[in-house]
Protein backbone atom coordinates (compact mmCIF):
# COMPACT_ATOMS: atom_id res chain seq x y z
CA UNK A 1 0.00 0.00 0.00
CA UNK A 2 1.44 3.36 -0.97
CA UNK A 3 2.07 5.60 2.03
CA UNK A 4 0.26 8.92 2.52
CA UNK A 5 0.09 11.76 5.03
CA UNK A 6 -2.96 11.52 7.29
CA UNK A 7 -4.68 14.67 8.49
CA UNK A 8 -7.75 14.83 10.70
CA UNK A 9 -9.93 17.93 10.32
CA UNK A 10 -12.82 19.23 12.42
CA UNK A 11 -14.55 21.92 10.34
CA UNK A 12 -15.71 22.21 6.75
CA UNK A 13 -13.44 25.20 6.16
CA UNK A 14 -10.42 23.31 7.48
CA UNK A 15 -11.23 20.35 5.21
CA UNK A 16 -11.54 22.65 2.21
CA UNK A 17 -8.33 24.57 3.03
CA UNK A 18 -6.27 21.39 3.41
CA UNK A 19 -7.72 19.95 0.18
CA UNK A 20 -7.03 23.14 -1.80
CA UNK A 21 -3.48 23.37 -0.40
CA UNK A 22 -2.79 19.82 -1.62
CA UNK A 23 -3.44 20.93 -5.22
CA UNK A 24 -5.46 17.86 -6.18
CA UNK A 25 -3.20 15.33 -4.42
CA UNK A 26 -5.60 14.55 -1.56
CA UNK A 27 -8.70 12.46 -0.89
CA UNK A 28 -11.34 12.86 1.79
CA UNK A 29 -11.77 9.88 4.10
CA UNK A 30 -15.23 9.10 5.52
CA UNK A 31 -15.87 5.40 6.27
CA UNK A 32 -12.97 4.35 4.05
CA UNK A 33 -14.79 1.27 2.67
CA UNK A 34 -14.17 2.42 -0.90
CA UNK A 35 -11.14 4.68 -0.49
CA UNK A 36 -8.89 2.34 1.48
CA UNK A 37 -9.61 -0.56 -0.87
CA UNK A 38 -8.78 1.65 -3.84
CA UNK A 39 -5.52 2.84 -2.24
CA UNK A 40 -4.54 -0.76 -1.42
CA UNK A 41 -5.24 -1.80 -5.01
CA UNK A 42 -3.26 1.16 -6.36
CA UNK A 43 -6.31 2.60 -8.12
CA UNK A 44 -5.96 5.83 -6.13
CA UNK A 45 -2.69 7.28 -4.91
CA UNK A 46 -3.42 10.37 -2.80
CA UNK A 47 -0.42 12.02 -1.10
CA UNK A 48 -2.73 13.31 1.64
CA UNK A 49 -5.74 11.62 3.19
CA UNK A 50 -8.05 14.09 4.92
CA UNK A 51 -10.19 12.42 7.58
CA UNK A 52 -13.52 14.28 7.77
CA UNK A 53 -15.23 12.02 10.31
CA UNK A 54 -14.83 14.71 13.01
CA UNK A 55 -16.61 17.42 11.01
CA UNK A 56 -19.91 18.01 12.83
CA UNK A 57 -21.39 20.01 9.96
CA UNK A 58 -21.48 16.78 7.93
CA UNK A 59 -23.44 14.80 10.53
CA UNK A 60 -27.08 14.32 11.38
CA UNK A 61 -30.53 13.64 9.99
CA UNK A 62 -32.95 16.55 10.49
CA UNK A 63 -36.46 17.41 9.52
CA UNK A 64 -37.26 21.09 8.93
CA UNK A 65 -39.79 23.04 6.89
CA UNK A 66 -41.16 19.97 5.10
CA UNK A 67 -37.68 18.85 4.05
CA UNK A 68 -35.46 16.02 5.24
CA UNK A 69 -31.74 16.83 5.47
CA UNK A 70 -29.27 13.96 5.64
CA UNK A 71 -25.64 14.75 6.45
CA UNK A 72 -22.97 13.19 4.22
CA UNK A 73 -21.42 11.37 7.20
CA UNK A 74 -24.66 9.54 7.99
CA UNK A 75 -23.88 5.84 7.94
CA UNK A 76 -25.76 3.45 5.72
CA UNK A 77 -26.76 1.57 8.88
CA UNK A 78 -28.40 4.74 10.24
CA UNK A 79 -30.34 5.15 6.99
CA UNK A 80 -31.47 1.56 7.31
CA UNK A 81 -32.59 1.86 10.94
CA UNK A 82 -33.56 5.54 11.46
CA UNK A 83 -37.26 5.93 12.21
CA UNK A 84 -37.49 9.30 10.45
CA UNK A 85 -35.84 7.90 7.31
CA UNK A 86 -38.07 4.82 7.16
CA UNK A 87 -41.20 6.85 7.93
CA UNK A 88 -40.54 9.70 5.51
CA UNK A 89 -38.44 8.11 2.74
CA UNK A 90 -38.80 4.32 3.02
CA UNK A 91 -37.26 3.92 -0.43
CA UNK A 92 -33.90 5.11 0.89
CA UNK A 93 -34.09 2.84 3.95
CA UNK A 94 -34.86 -0.08 1.66
CA UNK A 95 -31.90 0.64 -0.62
CA UNK A 96 -29.58 1.14 2.36
CA UNK A 97 -30.55 -2.27 3.79
CA UNK A 98 -29.33 -3.89 0.55
CA UNK A 99 -25.83 -2.37 0.60
CA UNK A 100 -22.96 -4.73 1.46
CA UNK A 101 -23.18 -6.45 4.85
CA UNK A 102 -24.20 -5.14 8.25
CA UNK A 103 -20.51 -4.62 9.14
CA UNK A 104 -19.94 -2.55 5.99
CA UNK A 105 -23.13 -0.58 6.61
CA UNK A 106 -21.96 0.44 10.11
CA UNK A 107 -18.84 1.99 8.59
CA UNK A 108 -19.93 3.18 5.13
CA UNK A 109 -21.46 6.64 4.74
CA UNK A 110 -24.03 8.13 2.41
CA UNK A 111 -21.57 10.79 1.22
CA UNK A 112 -18.97 8.14 0.44
CA UNK A 113 -21.45 6.04 -1.51
CA UNK A 114 -22.43 9.03 -3.67
CA UNK A 115 -18.99 10.62 -4.06
CA UNK A 116 -17.41 7.31 -5.04
CA UNK A 117 -19.83 7.56 -7.99
CA UNK A 118 -20.10 3.90 -8.83
CA UNK A 119 -22.85 3.37 -11.44
CA UNK A 120 -24.22 0.67 -9.11
CA UNK A 121 -24.25 2.71 -5.85
CA UNK A 122 -27.40 1.54 -4.07
CA UNK A 123 -28.36 4.83 -2.42
CA UNK A 124 -27.91 6.78 -5.67
CA UNK A 125 -30.90 5.34 -7.57
CA UNK A 126 -33.13 5.66 -4.51
CA UNK A 127 -32.16 9.31 -4.04
CA UNK A 128 -32.62 10.07 -7.74
CA UNK A 129 -36.15 8.66 -7.53
CA UNK A 130 -36.73 10.91 -4.49
CA UNK A 131 -35.65 14.04 -6.46
CA UNK A 132 -32.92 14.67 -3.89
CA UNK A 133 -30.66 17.70 -4.06
CA UNK A 134 -26.98 17.71 -3.17
CA UNK A 135 -25.53 20.49 -1.00
CA UNK A 136 -21.87 21.16 -1.78
CA UNK A 137 -19.31 23.27 0.08
CA UNK A 138 -16.40 24.88 -1.74
CA UNK A 139 -14.36 28.02 -2.36
CA UNK A 140 -17.43 30.17 -3.04
CA UNK A 141 -19.46 28.84 -0.12
CA UNK A 142 -22.45 26.51 -0.39
CA UNK A 143 -24.21 25.57 -3.61
CA UNK A 144 -27.10 23.20 -4.21
CA UNK A 145 -27.58 21.07 -7.31
CA UNK A 146 -30.06 18.43 -8.39
CA UNK A 147 -28.60 15.01 -7.64
CA UNK A 148 -29.43 14.16 -11.25
CA UNK A 149 -26.61 16.54 -12.25
CA UNK A 150 -24.14 15.19 -9.66
CA UNK A 151 -23.02 11.97 -11.39
CA UNK A 152 -20.94 12.56 -14.50
CA UNK A 153 -19.61 9.04 -15.12
CA UNK A 154 -17.91 6.13 -13.37
CA UNK A 155 -15.99 7.63 -10.43
CA UNK A 156 -16.69 11.19 -11.61
CA UNK A 157 -18.95 13.76 -9.98
CA UNK A 158 -19.77 17.44 -10.27
CA UNK A 159 -17.56 18.16 -7.22
CA UNK A 160 -14.91 20.77 -8.07
CA UNK A 161 -11.42 21.29 -6.63
CA UNK A 162 -11.50 20.66 -2.85
CA UNK A 163 -15.30 20.58 -2.69
CA UNK A 164 -17.20 18.43 -0.19
CA UNK A 165 -20.66 16.98 -0.39
CA UNK A 166 -22.22 18.25 2.85
CA UNK A 167 -25.78 16.92 2.88
CA UNK A 168 -28.71 15.67 0.86
CA UNK A 169 -32.02 17.46 0.83
CA UNK A 170 -35.34 15.73 0.10
CA UNK A 171 -38.62 17.65 -0.18
CA UNK A 172 -41.40 15.70 1.51
CA UNK A 173 -44.99 15.51 0.35
CA UNK A 174 -48.32 14.71 1.92
CA UNK A 175 -49.50 13.05 -1.31
CA UNK A 176 -49.93 9.28 -1.36
CA UNK A 177 -46.72 7.59 -2.46
CA UNK A 178 -45.51 4.06 -3.05
CA UNK A 179 -41.92 3.07 -3.76
CA UNK A 180 -39.68 0.03 -4.16
CA UNK A 181 -36.00 -0.70 -4.67
CA UNK A 182 -34.98 -3.92 -6.39
CA UNK A 183 -31.38 -5.06 -6.58
CA UNK A 184 -29.94 -7.97 -8.51
CA UNK A 185 -26.44 -9.15 -7.68
CA UNK A 186 -24.56 -12.38 -8.27
CA UNK A 187 -24.45 -13.05 -4.51
CA UNK A 188 -27.15 -12.22 -1.97
CA UNK A 189 -24.88 -10.00 0.15
CA UNK A 190 -21.53 -8.21 -0.12
CA UNK A 191 -21.87 -7.70 -3.83
CA UNK A 192 -22.56 -4.74 -6.08
CA UNK A 193 -25.77 -4.64 -8.08
CA UNK A 194 -25.64 -5.64 -11.74
CA UNK A 195 -29.10 -4.05 -11.96
CA UNK A 196 -30.67 -1.66 -9.45
CA UNK A 197 -34.17 -0.31 -10.00
CA UNK A 198 -35.84 2.36 -7.85
CA UNK A 199 -39.46 3.24 -8.58
CA UNK A 200 -41.61 5.87 -6.93
CA UNK A 201 -45.24 6.63 -7.71
CA UNK A 202 -47.32 9.49 -6.37
CA UNK A 203 -51.09 9.60 -6.68
CA UNK A 204 -53.52 12.47 -7.14
CA UNK A 205 -57.31 12.22 -7.06
CA UNK A 206 -59.15 9.23 -8.45
CA UNK A 207 -55.99 7.10 -8.08
CA UNK A 208 -54.43 8.80 -11.12
CA UNK A 209 -50.64 9.00 -11.17
CA UNK A 210 -49.41 12.55 -10.54
CA UNK A 211 -45.69 11.66 -10.51
CA UNK A 212 -43.57 8.68 -11.52
CA UNK A 213 -39.87 8.32 -10.93
CA UNK A 214 -37.79 5.48 -12.32
CA UNK A 215 -34.06 5.42 -11.56
CA UNK A 216 -31.64 2.74 -12.69
CA UNK A 217 -28.26 1.63 -11.37
CA UNK A 218 -25.48 -0.38 -13.03
CA UNK A 219 -26.92 -0.10 -16.54
CA UNK A 220 -25.26 3.15 -17.71
CA UNK A 221 -21.99 4.97 -16.96
CA UNK A 222 -23.77 6.65 -14.02
CA UNK A 223 -27.01 6.08 -12.10
CA UNK A 224 -29.78 7.49 -14.34
CA UNK A 225 -33.41 8.49 -14.43
CA UNK A 226 -35.61 7.65 -17.41
CA UNK A 227 -37.90 10.66 -17.96
CA UNK A 228 -39.56 9.25 -21.12
CA UNK A 229 -40.74 6.15 -19.22
CA UNK A 230 -41.87 8.34 -16.30
CA UNK A 231 -43.85 10.81 -18.44
CA UNK A 232 -45.79 8.07 -20.15
CA UNK A 233 -47.66 7.34 -16.91
CA UNK A 234 -48.73 10.89 -15.99
CA UNK A 235 -52.47 11.06 -15.32
CA UNK A 236 -52.82 7.29 -15.79
CA UNK A 237 -54.55 4.74 -13.53
CA UNK A 238 -51.93 2.05 -13.80
CA UNK A 239 -52.71 -1.16 -15.68
CA UNK A 240 -50.27 -4.04 -16.32
CA UNK A 241 -50.17 -2.96 -19.99
CA UNK A 242 -49.23 0.65 -19.14
CA UNK A 243 -46.57 -0.60 -16.71
CA UNK A 244 -45.21 -2.90 -19.42
CA UNK A 245 -45.04 -0.04 -21.93
CA UNK A 246 -43.20 2.23 -19.51
CA UNK A 247 -40.83 -0.59 -18.50
CA UNK A 248 -40.12 -1.26 -22.17
CA UNK A 249 -39.10 2.39 -22.64
CA UNK A 250 -36.84 2.20 -19.57
CA UNK A 251 -35.17 -0.93 -20.93
CA UNK A 252 -34.59 0.77 -24.30
CA UNK A 253 -33.19 3.93 -22.65
CA UNK A 254 -30.39 2.30 -20.65
CA UNK A 255 -26.89 1.53 -21.91
CA UNK A 256 -25.75 -1.61 -20.09
CA UNK A 257 -22.39 -3.25 -20.64
CA UNK A 258 -21.42 -6.93 -20.44
CA UNK A 259 -18.95 -7.87 -17.70
CA UNK A 260 -18.24 -10.69 -15.25
CA UNK A 261 -21.46 -9.95 -13.36
CA UNK A 262 -23.98 -10.10 -16.24
CA UNK A 263 -24.36 -9.62 -19.98
CA UNK A 264 -25.78 -6.40 -21.43
CA UNK A 265 -28.77 -8.31 -22.87
CA UNK A 266 -29.62 -9.89 -19.50
CA UNK A 267 -29.30 -6.56 -17.70
CA UNK A 268 -31.69 -4.93 -20.19
CA UNK A 269 -34.17 -7.78 -19.82
CA UNK A 270 -34.02 -7.45 -16.03
CA UNK A 271 -34.60 -3.68 -16.23
CA UNK A 272 -37.77 -4.39 -18.24
CA UNK A 273 -38.98 -7.02 -15.79
CA UNK A 274 -38.11 -5.20 -12.56
CA UNK A 275 -39.48 -1.87 -13.76
CA UNK A 276 -42.82 -3.47 -14.62
CA UNK A 277 -42.99 -5.29 -11.29
CA UNK A 278 -41.79 -2.19 -9.44
CA UNK A 279 -44.37 0.11 -11.04
CA UNK A 280 -47.22 -2.24 -10.19
CA UNK A 281 -45.99 -2.76 -6.63
CA UNK A 282 -45.43 0.97 -6.00
CA UNK A 283 -48.88 1.78 -7.43
CA UNK A 284 -50.56 -0.79 -5.18
CA UNK A 285 -48.67 0.58 -2.18
CA UNK A 286 -49.62 4.20 -2.99
CA UNK A 287 -53.28 3.26 -3.37
CA UNK A 288 -53.26 1.68 0.08
CA UNK A 289 -51.69 4.78 1.72
CA UNK A 290 -53.76 7.08 3.88
CA UNK A 291 -53.77 10.78 2.93
CA UNK A 292 -51.66 13.35 4.87
CA UNK A 293 -48.94 10.97 6.10
CA UNK A 294 -46.43 13.80 6.46
CA UNK A 295 -48.61 16.23 8.34
Ligand X SMILES: Cc1cc2nc3c(=O)[nH]c(=O)nc-3n(C[C@H](O)[C@H](O)[C@H](O)COP(=O)(O)OP(=O)(O)OC[C@H]3O[C@@H](n4cnc5c(N)ncnc54)[C@H](O)[C@@H]3O)c2cc1C
* Cβ partners under 8 Å of residue 83, min gap 6: none
Q: How far apart are the first and last CA of the chain?
A: 52
- 122 close to 80: Cβ distance less than 8 angstroms: no
According to the binding rule CB under 6 A, does residue 197 interact with ligand X?
no
Contact between 37 and ligand X by CB under 6 A: the answer reads yes
CB of 6 to ligand X, least distance (A): 13
Distance CA 250, CA 246 (A): 6
**C-beta of residue 203 within 8 angstroms of C-beta of residue 179:** no
Asked whether position 34 contacts ligand X by CB under 6 A, the answer is: yes
Q: Is 30 in the site for ligand X (CB under 6 A)?
A: yes
Q: Are 132 and 170 in contact (CB under 8 A)?
A: yes
User: Is 27 an interacting residue with respect to ligand X (CB under 6 A)?
Assistant: yes
Query: Cβ of 143: how many Cβ atoms within 10 Å?
Result: 13
CB of 229 to ligand X, least distance (A): 23
Minimum Å gap between C-beta 263 and ligand X is 20
Interaction between residue 182 and ligand X (CB under 6 A): no
Shortest CB 228 distance to ligand X, Å: 26
Q: Is 29 in the site for ligand X (CB under 6 A)?
A: yes
Nearest residue (beta carbon) to ligand X: 112
Interface with ligand X, residue 70, by CB under 6 A: no
Residues 76 to 135 in contact with ligand X, rule: CB under 6 A: 76, 99-100, 104, 107-109, 111-113, 115-116, 121-122
User: What CA–CA distances, in Å, run from 95 to 13, 43, 173, 196, 279?
Assistant: 31, 27, 20, 9, 16
Helix or strand (DSSP H, E) at 30 = none
- What is the nearest approach in angstroms of ligand X to the Cβ of residue 238? 29
- Catalog residues that contact ligand X under the rule CB under 6 A: 27-35, 37, 58, 72, 76, 99-100, 104, 107-109, 111-113, 115-116, 121-122, 159, 164-165, 190, 192
Amino acid sequence: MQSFDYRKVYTLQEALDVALASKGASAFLAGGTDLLVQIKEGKKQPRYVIDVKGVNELAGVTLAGGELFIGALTTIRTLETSLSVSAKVPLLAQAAAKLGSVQVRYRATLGGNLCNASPSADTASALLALDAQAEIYGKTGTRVIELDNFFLGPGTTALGDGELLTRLKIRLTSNRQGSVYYKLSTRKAMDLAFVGVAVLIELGGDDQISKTRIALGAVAPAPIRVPSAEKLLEGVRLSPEAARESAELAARSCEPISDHRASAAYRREMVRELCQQGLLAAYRQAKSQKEDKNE
